């Protein structure tokens, strides 16, 4: 069976371009390294100097001139004119030495093992040369970056941390969607604030205007039900630019703007919320952070994906030994959704993919 996108539904590519056109990178803020993990670097940082600046020891032992212990062994010990200095790991070698002899390589003043030039030694600039890149602007700060920055004496870093408000509409209990999407947004590097609004258009508009954030995700109330007033609330607070996107699941998503801030209408069903966040929310957070969304990776489908022509479709799946097992998309029960760790975007011109096809997958 095939379908065509309704004229009332904006193609996903156009919707994404519209949303990102509303987003601007937020101003940088300087934070200690301890607060930088997972955030987006606002500026590139290079090593301020060579590291190390002098030859340093890679192990505990004796600092020696390697030319004086050449050929030393237990059967042919080499008597040193004076006892060599003991050195700890990471310390600078004394003048006149170029290697570190292991502790068992010395008996009294006799070297009983040879050591070669620069053996047990970290040469100047071997870790980093002045000007080496430690982290690039727009790059997500990982533990490896913290290691490099701290090793080079960098104590603070400028990051971009967009504030994203999640405004849930309707009854306040139970609300499983807000903590779920808050975790997804925080993992993208956003600072998240949450708020609750009743399902009345005026209350929704007031809440959108009142939250302090760089972007707003309005959760729930996006459909055509009698209590679905999120689109009207957005229109009352600012501009409703589109309501209805050719994305399955997630057709009732929408985009607007309030006081210069982008607003994304997110359907209340979890599988639709996941689809909308992956297709639109994640790129929005990246644009506000001055970065690019995570790139997809290739994987082989262990089962076929059936889709229809006309709408972009998000199908979630899980990684298994042989590739990725599709779990479904529309009307997916939670017991399946909670096992998903990747997603596949099927373009509107495709009817799906047969088993064994290599596709691009996005991590959840």
Compute the distance between CA of residue 109 and CA of residue 72 in angstroms, rounded to an integer. Answer: 12
Query: Quick one: pLDDT at residue 16?
Result: 97
Query: Quick one: pLDDT at residue 173?
Result: 62
Query: Quick one: pLDDT at residue 3?
Result: 36
Helix axes 201-210, 230-237, angle to 10 degrees: 50
Query: Quick one: pLDDT at residue 180?
Result: 93
Q: Indicate the DSSP class of residue 9.
A: S
Q: 348: Cβ–Cβ under 8 A, 6 or more apart, which residues?
A: 5, 11, 12, 246, 309, 310, 311, 312
Residue-wise pLDDT tens digits, 327-342: 998 888 999 999 999 9
Query: Quick one: pLDDT at residue 5?
Result: 42
Query: Quick one: pLDDT at residue 1?
Result: 30
pTM of the model: 0.86
Query: Which domains, ranges and CATH numbers included, belong to the chain?
Result: 10-26+161-289 (3.40.980.10), 32-51+127-159 (3.90.105.10), 56-122 (2.170.190.11), 297-363 (2.40.340.10)
Task: List, as one string, the DSSP characters of 150-208.
Answer: HHTT--EEEEE--EEEEEEES--SS--HHHHHHHHHHHTT-EEEEEEE-SSHHHHHHHH
The size of the chain, in residues, is 364
SS3 37: coil
SS3 115: coil
Query: Which residues, given as ranges, of the chain have pLDDT below 50?
Result: 1-6
Query: Quick one: pLDDT at residue 172?
Result: 63
Two tokens, residue 55: 């030859």
- Upper half-sphere CA count for residue 35 (Cβ side, 13 Å): 13
Query: Quick one: pLDDT at residue 308?
Result: 86
**Cβ–Cβ < 8 Å for 64, 111:** yes
Query: Quick one: pLDDT at residue 90?
Result: 95
Query: Quick one: pLDDT at residue 176?
Result: 86
């Amino acid at each position: 069976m095939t379908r065509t996108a309704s004229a009332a539904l904006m193609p996903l590519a156009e919707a994404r371009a519209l949303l990102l056109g509303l987003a601007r990178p937020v101003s940088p803020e300087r934070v200690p390294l301890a607060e930088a993990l997972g955030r987006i670097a606002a500026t590139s940082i290079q090593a301020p100097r060579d590291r190390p600046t002098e030859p340093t020891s890679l192990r505990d032992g004796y600092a020696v001139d390697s030319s004086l212990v050449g050929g030393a062994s237990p059967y042919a010990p080499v008597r040193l004119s004076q006892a060599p200095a003991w050195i700890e790991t990471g310390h600078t070698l004394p003048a006149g030495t170029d290697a570190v002899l292991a502790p068992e390589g010395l008996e009294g003043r006799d070297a009983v093992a040879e050591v070669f030039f620069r053996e047990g030694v970290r040469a100047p600039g071997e870790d980093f040369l002045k000007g080496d890149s430690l982290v690039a602007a727009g790059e997500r700060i990982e533990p490896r970056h913290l290691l490099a920055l701290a090793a080079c004496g960098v104590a603070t870093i400028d990051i971009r941390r967009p504030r994203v408000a999640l405004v849930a509409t309707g009854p306040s209990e139970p609300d499983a969607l807000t903590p779920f999407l808050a975790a997804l947004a925080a993992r993208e590097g956003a600072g998240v604030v949450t708020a609750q609004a009743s399902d009345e258009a005026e209350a929704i508009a007031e809440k959108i205007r009142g939250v302090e954030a760089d972007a707003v995700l309005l959760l729930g109330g996006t459909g055509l039900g009698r209590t679905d007033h999120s689109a009207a609330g957005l229109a009352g607070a600012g501009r409703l630019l589109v309501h209805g996107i050719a994305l399955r699941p997630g057709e009732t998503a929408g985009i607007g703007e309030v006081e210069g801030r982008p607003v994304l209408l997110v359907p209340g069903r979890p599988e639709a919320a996941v689809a909308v966040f992956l297709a639109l929310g994640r790129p929005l957070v990246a644009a506000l952070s001055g970065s690019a969304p995570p790139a997809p990776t290739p994987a082989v489908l262990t089962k076929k994906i059936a889709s229809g022509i006309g709408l972009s479709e998000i199908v979630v799946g899980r990684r298994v030994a042989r590739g990725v097992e599709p779990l479904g998309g529309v009307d997916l029960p939670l017991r399946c959704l909670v096992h998903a760790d990747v997603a596949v975007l099927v373009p509107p011109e495709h009817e799906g993919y047969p088993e064994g096809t290599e596709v691009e997958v996005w991590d959840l």
